Amino acid sequence: MTTQKFTLNNILQDRVLSLSLTIAFLMLVLTLLFPTQFATWDNFSQVLLNLSIDTIVAVGMMILMIGGMFDLSVGSVVAFSGGMAGYLMYHHDVPVALAVLAGLSGATLVGLVNGWLIARIGINPMIQTLAMMGIVRGFALMLSGAGLQNFPWEFIVIGQSKLLQLQTPVWYMLFIVLGMNFLVQRTTFFRRYYFIGGNERAARLSGIQVERMKIWAFVISAVLAGIAGILLSSRLGAALSTSGRGLELRVITAVILGGASLAGGQGRILGAFLGALFMAIINNALIIGRVSGYWQKVILGVILILAVAMDQLLLRRVSRK
């Protein structure tokens, strides 16, 4: 009896393991309920494609939340980077490589400003990134207007080409998840975020340059959001000012589901991927079940509340030990 309880505790505390088992069970149930719609290669590849953008952004958010921070402006950065690249190609015939570089540079600048104001000036991350969300969305609207299309083939191929029957955003996602998972687990630089999120004062006393690390975290998150924006614009063949709207809520939900804590110091990159996968499967099931789009937003909000509640319960349980 004791062994069984110990095993269940381990499963509950290892969010990657528990979420993997939950996803496997969910897929089994959906396969039985919708055998001709859910359990097909076309549907599976579409789910992967749909979650690719969210996952790339979630990787950056996971790094931030391990360090005890978060960024509400990532959705706007997605629209801004794609809009910047699209504006330069559409209005000024700038070569694709330079336009993409400009889009990523714009995203990097947003992350740098966020990080510097939060780490050096001490502005609350929620206030800073909420304000930046509005500012960047405004710039995205000025750049894209009602939408830009007719981009060069060299740009379209970035997000619409296929390898092994999977579109390239899926391969970018897998490369980023595996690469960042290795870096976060194995390198001293990224391991420092666990110390900062766990106890910032102790991390500072141990010699970690906390402010510089925070700035880097916001820059990395913004760059990944910028990459996601370029991929999304390429995949859609259009730069839209509405791209990424509501993305921050989905990404934070996925990251908390994947094991990040609002208190910081916890989380794994694979957890961010699994959290996004769980959200994508739920969304796919709602679409197959023809649930109204309004109810999908309600369900997303409920999942976020349940994820945060579960995080708080686990924190209390750990603090009692």
Is residue 279 within 8 Å of residue 250, measured between CB atoms? yes
Q: Considering only CA atoms, which of 264, 270, 272 is closest in space to residue 210? A: 264
Mean of per-residue pLDDT scores for the chain: 87
SS3 239: strand
More confident residue, 235 or 310: 235
| pLDDT above 60 for 179 | yes
Place 212 in a pLDDT band, splitting at 50, 70 and 90.
very high
Quote the pLDDT of residue 2.
45
Quote the pLDDT of residue 320.
63
Question: How are beta strands 162-163 and 166-167 bridged, if at all?
Answer: antiparallel
Quote the pLDDT of residue 292.
76
| pLDDT above 80 for 120 | yes
Its pTM stands at 0.88
Quote the pLDDT of residue 188.
92
Q: Considering only CA atoms, which of 103, 143, 114, 110 is closest in space to residue 232? A: 103
Using alpha carbons only, what angle is made at residue 115 by residues 278 and 240, rounded to the nearest 5 degrees? 55
More confident residue, 26 or 119: 119
| pLDDT above 50 for 230 | yes
Greatest alpha-carbon span in the chain: 70
| pLDDT above 90 for 159 | no
Distance CA 54, CA 258 (A): 13
Q: Is 245 exposed, middle or buried (0-12, 13-18, 19+ CB in 10 A)?
A: middle
> What is the CATH topology of the domain spanning 43-315?
ABC transporter involved in vitamin B12 uptake, BtuC (1.10.3470)
CA distances from 285 to 42, 254, 280, 289, 290 (A): 14, 17, 9, 6, 8
Mean pLDDT of 30-43: 87
pLDDT tens string 253-288: 889 888 888 788 888 999 999 999 988 998 888 888
More confident residue, 317 or 289: 289
Place 317 in a pLDDT band, splitting at 50, 70 and 90.
low
| pLDDT above 50 for 16 | yes
Place 59 in a pLDDT band, splitting at 50, 70 and 90.
very high
| pLDDT above 80 for 318 | no
Quote the pLDDT of residue 1.
44
Q: Is 225 exposed, middle or buried (0-12, 13-18, 19+ CB in 10 A)?
A: buried
Is residue 104 within 8 Å of residue 81, measured between CB atoms? yes
